[in-house]
Chain A
Amino acid sequence: MAADDLSDLIARVALRDRAAFSLLYTQASAKLFGVCLRILKDRSEAEEALQEVFIKIWQRSGRFAAEGRNASGWLTAIARNHAIDVLRARKPVADQIDEAYDLADPSPDPESGAVLTGEGRRIDRCMELLETDRATAVKRAYVEGLSYQELADQFRVPLNTMRTWLRRSLMKLRECLDQ
């Protein structure tokens, strides 16, 4: 998916240009169907999900330009998020966000420039700093949309160990990306 073409097509979809939407579907549907299939692992669920994904793309296209995202990443994120939502609804997993943690509390202002430091940087180099099994767990979580429990089962470690693996890995990755 060439970034320039996709960005332009999404902007045209925001103008309710149905020809552009059709072209966007032609260019992006195979990739996004691949995302739905990989996460949902069920063909008919993936077919239903792909429809929902493109309906969301039509509805959210007006926000794309303002979000300043990479077009292919923006599309894939809509597909991933939708497929993961379907997966979690189908097979619920335990909540973990502490009720006492007030999510509506505004996060502290980042030190100046901090938010921009790691922006746009790719993860590849930093993934190499993780131990192999942890890097695999991070990758598998992302690509397959696995829950902590499923990852723990696959790696044959206790649930809490898997949580610690991924959280420490995230902190290490952030540290590396910020350098």
Chain B
Amino acid sequence: MTSADRSSGDRSRDEVLAGEYVLGVLSANDRQKVEARMVLDRNFAAIVQRWQENLVSLDEEYAREQPPAWIYPRIEQRLHGAAPTAAAAVTKPGLWQSLAFWRAVTAFSLVAAVGVGVANINWRSGSSGELTAALAGKDNPVSYASSYDPKSGVFRMTPVAAGPEKAKSLELWLIQGENPAVSLGVLPQSGEGELLVPAEWRDKIRPGDLFAISLETFGGSPTGHAQGPVLAVGPAVIKP
């Protein structure tokens, strides 16, 4: 079989299988096989995702129904345990204040060529110890390629595209497991930038932790919690 034959035959079979998965007609076993393949095969995952987007208007068929009031406390309990704990207090280290570039944001240039590709995160592992994360936001044209070097404690990032926000600051957050987001500081306000991660966090950033960037009032969130829109979220992975 030539690769062209294989290609067109497999394409339509993949299209039908992905469509059957999204419709929901497959058996439990077959659903698991499809999901396993979506993890391994990016093209196939894109075919499934396209069906999901195509069929999304059928969601309008579902009528709203208010769930009983006891359900939400149960979810909270299952996620966080019995007693709701106060969110860990987050104080911005004084060290950071002196290192920040408190420059007003000029308009970021819009780089149109960057799309979803930025969001494709490679999970290959390497030996350099440096962590890398692609941070991408869906509705906001800001994307960053970033890396964190545990030896020097430097978080380095390159804005790939950004929206024209003025008089605002971009704040970097670290999310580890179930803990509330911790501020790692405010990012330099133009061009490629580096941020010195506070000393107490330097050795604690691990693959799988999430980095997020939110748009805050000038100088960063005064409360220690993200208040503005979250522009980008991405997991840390070992740099290939």
Interface residues of A (CB under 8 A from B): 3-4, 7-8, 11-12, 14-18, 22, 25, 29-31, 33-35, 37-39, 47, 50-51, 54-55, 58, 62, 64-70, 72-73, 76-77, 80, 84-85, 88-89, 92-97, 101, 103-110, 115, 118-124, 138-139, 141-143, 145-148, 151, 166-167, 170-171, 173-174, 177
Contacts and interface: CB of A to CB of B under 8 A. Distances in A.
Nearest to B53: A120
B199 interface: no
Interface of B, helix, strand, loop or mixed by DSSP: helix
B56 interface: yes
13 contacts: A7-B138, A7-B139, A15-B210, A51-B74, A64-B233, A65-B137, A68-B116, A72-B59, A106-B41, A119-B53, A141-B23, A171-B12, A174-B15
A58 B46 CA distance: 23
Interface string B1-39: 001001100111111110110111111111101101100
Interface in B54-86: 54-59, 61-68, 71-72, 74-76, 78-80, 84
Contacts, number: 244
B24 A177 contact: no
A97 B59 contact: no
Interface of A, helix, strand, loop or mixed by DSSP: helix
A11 B212 contact: yes
Contact of A170 (B11, B19, B44, B119): B19
